[in-house]
């Protein structure tokens, strides 16, 4: 079951953050890769996000072969003056973090929204996390795609979950991912790199 795997992987990352200062790139990119199928389950509205997210997670997984920690990812790009360059590991890390945050907000919204529609939860998650970084054309395309979202029941079926088990795993991911997302933000902010680009 994908939600259980995602929740467990992020609980492990959260435990790492609480117990030590260094997060290794390999387990981070592995946990992030488990989130990829969620974007695919959301249909056409999130197709661009899925392709972008998968490519950036793959880049981090490749980087993990030669770079040990998330701190090192940023420090190497700072040294090369390539943090904000397209394709840099740092830029990809920031984009992956936004994907994790979007899923976190989506799950929060699903848990507090009545009914079977995902349009409200997905629209709120997109507006909060991605929209501030997207131009008008992308925002319009996403808004149009929101009408093609699966229902909550269809999403749960694709994820092989019933509502009660899904809620437990979503709550677990929301709780465990928040400190992971904050950790990545702090890495950027502690180096005065900002997180709004």
Q: Which long-range contacts (CB under 8 A, 24 or more apart) does 116-123 make?
A: 116/151, 116/152, 116/153, 117/149, 117/151, 117/152, 118/42, 118/149, 118/150, 118/151, 118/152, 118/155, 119/146, 119/147, 119/149, 122/42, 122/45, 122/46, 122/146, 122/149
- In this prediction the pTM is 0.93
Q: What is the mean pLDDT of each run of 10 residues along the chain (197 residues)?
A: 94 92 92 92 81 94 96 95 93 95 96 94 94 90 88 93 93 97 94 84
Strand partners, 85: none
Q: Is 6 exposed, middle or buried (0-12, 13-18, 19+ CB in 10 A)?
A: buried
Q: CATH fold of 2-187, please?
A: Glycolipid transfer protein, GLTP (1.10.3520)
Domain ranges within the chain, ordered by starting residue: 2-187
What is the per-residue pLDDT for 190? 92
What is the per-residue pLDDT for 197? 78
Nearest to 111, CA basis, from 45, 55, 156: 156
Q: Answer for the pair 150, 42: CB distance below 8 angstroms, yes or no.
A: yes
**Residue 109 region, left (φ>0) first, then alpha (ψ -120 to 50), else beta?**
alpha
What is the per-residue pLDDT for 162? 92
User: If residue 83 lies in a helix (H) or strand (E), which one and from where to where?
Assistant: none
What is the per-residue pLDDT for 141? 86
């Amino acid at each position: 079951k994908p939600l259980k795997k995602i929740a467990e992987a992020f609980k492990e990352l959260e435990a790492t953050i609480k117990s030590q200062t260094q997060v290794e790139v390999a387990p981070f990119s592995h946990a992030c890769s488990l989130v990829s199928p969620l974007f695919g389950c959301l249909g056409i509205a999130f197709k661009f996000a899925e392709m972008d997210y998968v490519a950036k997670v793959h880049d981090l997984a490749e980087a993990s072969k030669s770079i040990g920690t998330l701190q090192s990812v940023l420090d190497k790009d700072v040294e090369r003056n390539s943090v904000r360059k397209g394709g840099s590991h740092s830029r990809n890390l920031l984009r992956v973090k936004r994907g994790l945050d979007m899923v976190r907000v989506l799950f929060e919204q699903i848990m507090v929204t009545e009914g079977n529609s995902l349009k409200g939860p997905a629209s709120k998650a997109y507006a909060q996390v991605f929209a501030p970084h997207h131009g008008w054309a992308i925002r319009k395309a996403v808004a149009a795609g929101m009408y093609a979202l699966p229902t909550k029941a269809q999403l749960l079926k694709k994820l092989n979950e019933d509502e009660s088990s899904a809620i437990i795993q979503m709550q677990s991911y929301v709780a465990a991912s928040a400190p992971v997302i904050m950790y990545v933000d702090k890495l950027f902010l502690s180096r005065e790199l900002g997180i709004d680009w």
